[in-house]
Amino acid sequence: MLEVSPEQVEGDVSDANDTITDDTWGPGHQLWLNIRRNLVGQGPDKFTPVRLASHVALLLVAVGLLAFTQIELPKWEIAGQEVLPAPAASPTPASLRQLVVARGGSAFQAGGPLTRSAVPFTIIPERPRLEVLTYAVQPGDTVFGIAEKFGIKPETIMWSNRKLELNPDMLRVNDQLIILPINGVYHEVKAGDTLAKVAKKYKAQVADIVAYELNNLESAEQPLQTGSFLIIPGGKKPPVVRRVSIYNGPIPKGARKGTGSFVWPSSGRITQAFWTGHRAIDIGSWTGNPVVASDSGYVVYAGWNRTGYGNLIIIDHGNGFRTYYAHLSRIFVRQGESIGQGQRIGSVGNTGNSTGPHLHFEIRQNGVLRNPIGYLR
């Protein structure tokens, strides 16, 4: 094994320093000389393997950074997509094909057909119903709700079912109701009836009655068969007001007078609004829910009523107004008793002609039924 003394290495280094200059080696000359001295133990610090490894790692990092800075990254260019101008008119299949080919499209070939996509959607016009139906009343039904279900007016249901004309609330579960396909009146022909008389009675046109196909009439001169039924398109009947016998004696001493402002008589939701055949509102609730006086006054009726109201309370407010509270389960006041606004007078019920617990509430001014919604606050 060949041994080299430190003096020989030093001499070699000195000779190298004499013959090789910084100008020849460049800036790495001094670094190389220092590394050589450290390898042979002539550096300022004692040489160790850990120190050598750290220097080598540092050198590799420096070389890596130097090499990375010399790499030129490719220039990525994204070509902008040209927006095609919209054609002034709907393009024909031929013009569309030429446009796709001109833009380099591969989906179509020049001269090939352009196939229209199938759209599985067809608008089917709604056809009118051309038959008279029979409907069985369900729990909770009202004339207003049934009418909405069949797309007709509630008056049409009332005028087609005689028992409802005097009392639209006279509904019982499983009652069979006649449902016309259009709005109007269902008239039973009586002896002596003519088309002219029937049209005048219901404020309708003879031509409309003849033209309606379910009537099976060939002309306006065709005689009518007694006991048959006619549908009177657009026909109308005057409303019928229910009447009850109430107290008409002198005003009790100390009776309170109404303020003219009305509060809600019970809590719940409106299940039937005010309309021609139902000149009141129905407030759906639960049996036993409190009912209060909508305004101050005195009781002129408190008890059972046979016309469909069931348990009924009527309060006279002494200013031309009277309020009706029907279908009650309980009554807490007596006839002639003075009542203050907001005072409890009964409980919500399901008595009389009713298909579910609710309060039937009316406001009458000098005998004329008013829409309560316009007065309640």
Could you report the per-residue pLDDT of 278-315, keeping only the tens digit for each? 889 999 999 999 999 999 999 999 989 888 889 999 99
**Phi, psi torsion values for 131, nearest 5 degrees:** -160, 155
Report the top-level CATH class of 133-233: alpha beta
3-state secondary structure of 365: strand
Q: How many CA atoms lie within 13 A of 170 on its CB side?
A: 17
pLDDT for 113? 53
Comparing 97-101, 188-192, 219-223, 356-360, which segment has the lowest mean pLDDT? 97-101
Q: Is the pLDDT of residue 221 over 90?
A: no
Q: How many CA atoms lie within 13 A of 46 on its CB side?
A: 1
Q: Is the pLDDT of residue 327 over 80?
A: yes
Instruction: Choose between 279 and 76: higher pLDDT.
Output: 279
The reply to whether CATH 2.70.70.10 applies to domain 269-374 is: yes
**Phi, psi torsion values for 93, nearest 5 degrees:** -55, -35
pLDDT for 40? 58
Question: Rounded to two decimals, what is the model's pTM?
Answer: 0.46
> Which phi-psi region, left, alpha or beta, contains residue 174 (left: φ > 0; alpha: ψ -120 to 50)?
left
| Stretch 220-237: mean pLDDT | 91
Q: Is the pLDDT of residue 108 over 60?
A: no
Residues 6+ away with beta carbon under 8 Å from 308: 166, 167, 169, 170, 242, 352, 353
pLDDT for 121? 55
Comparing 6-20, 112-126, 310-324, which segment has the lowest mean pLDDT? 6-20
- Chain segment 159-190, per-residue pLDDT in tens: 899 878 766 766 778 889 999 999 999 999 99
> What value does the CA radius of gyration of the chain take, rounded to a whole number of Å?
50
pLDDT for 325? 97
Instruction: Indicate the domain borders of the chain.
Output: 1-45, 133-233, 269-374
- Chain segment 130-143, per-residue pLDDT in tens: 789 999 999 888 88
Give long-range contacts, CB 8 A cutoff, 24+ apart: 301-304.
301/244, 301/245, 301/246, 301/247, 301/335, 302/331, 302/333, 302/334, 302/335, 302/337, 303/331, 303/335, 304/351
Measured distance between the N- and C-terminal CA atoms of the chain, rounded to whole angstroms: 118
**What's the mean pLDDT when you consider all of the chain?**
78
